[in-house]
């Protein structure tokens, strides 16, 4: 009778922790490194007839060279709006257009900017770890409630607590690995 409740709590915790890691992975992909990547700009919101719309829904984004992003809007009238949105973003790149496509030439990062970006990676990693710990706390509270209501025994509660901690440790380790790899990528000249 008691094991299905524990399994349900642990399954939900695993899913929520995996989502937190996925959000972090996406956040880290938007941090600029020395190389061009469509992920740097696809999340930028462009005013599309009064509606903020992600750039990836309005244009084809390609990286023909290591330091160049080419944005080809499906509607040429959007070029001015896209340029404005890019200028207002935190990319620090000035767009240029030829009437049909927008080009973003990414300059090499300065040492100071690399350190700032590495610091940002560490901050985002800490946010990810906090999110995973919050999921652990919620799951632990739910397990404790099950024990208080005598739906699970104290021994089952202790075992579930240990499983929850192992799960948390694994996700924290994954977050640390993601952040280390991204930090190394940012600091590499």
What top-level class would CATH report for the domain 3-30+110-187? mainly alpha
The reply to whether the predicted model has a pTM over 0.75 is no
Beta-carbon contacts of 23 under 8 Å, excluding residues fewer than 6 positions away, are 128, 131
pLDDT digits (tens, 9 = 90+) for 167-184: 999 999 999 999 999 888
Going from the C-alpha of 142 to that of each of 21, 146, 186, the distances in angstroms are 22, 6, 40
Q: Is 46 left (phi over 0), alpha (psi -120 to 50) or beta?
A: beta
Q: 144 with 25: CB under 8 angstroms?
A: no
Which single residue is written with the structure tokens 């896209």? 82
Domain 38-105 annotated CATH 3.30.1360.40: yes
Which tokens go with 180?
């280390």
Domains 3-30+110-187 and 38-105 belong to one CATH topology = no
pLDDT digits (tens, 9 = 90+) for 83-125: 888 888 877 778 888 888 889 888 777 888 888 888 989 999 9
- Residue 2 pLDDT: 52
Going from the C-alpha of 119 to that of each of 131, 160, 182, 186, the distances in angstroms are 19, 36, 11, 10
Beta strand ranges found along 66-158 (DSSP E)? 68-73, 96-97, 102-105
Return mean pLDDT, the chain.
87
Domain ranges, ordered by start, for the chain: 3-30+110-187, 38-105
């Amino acid at each position: 009778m008691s094991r299905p409740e524990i399994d349900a709590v642990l399954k939900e915790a695993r899913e929520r922790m995996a989502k937190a890691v996925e959000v972090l992975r996406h956040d880290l992909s938007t941090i600029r490194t020395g190389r061009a990547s469509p992920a740097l700009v696809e999340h930028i919101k462009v005013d599309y007839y009064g509606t903020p719309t992600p750039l990836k829904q309005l244009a084809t984004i390609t990286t023909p060279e290591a330091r160049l992003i080419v944005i080809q809007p499906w509607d040429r009238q959007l070029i001015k709006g896209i340029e404005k949105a890019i200028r207002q973003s935190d990319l620090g790149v000035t767009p240029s257009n030829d009437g049909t496509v927008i080009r973003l030439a990414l300059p090499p990062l300065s040492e100071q900017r690399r350190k700032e970006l590495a610091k940002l990676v560490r901050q985002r990693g800490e946010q990810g770890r906090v999110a995973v710990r919050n999921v652990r706390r919620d799951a632990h509270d739910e397990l404790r409630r099950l024990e208080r209501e005598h739906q699970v025994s104290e021994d089952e509660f202790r075992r579930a607590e240990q499983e929850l901690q192992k799960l948390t440790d694994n996700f924290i380790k994954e977050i640390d690995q993601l952040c280390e790899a991204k930090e190394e990528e940012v600091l590499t000249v």
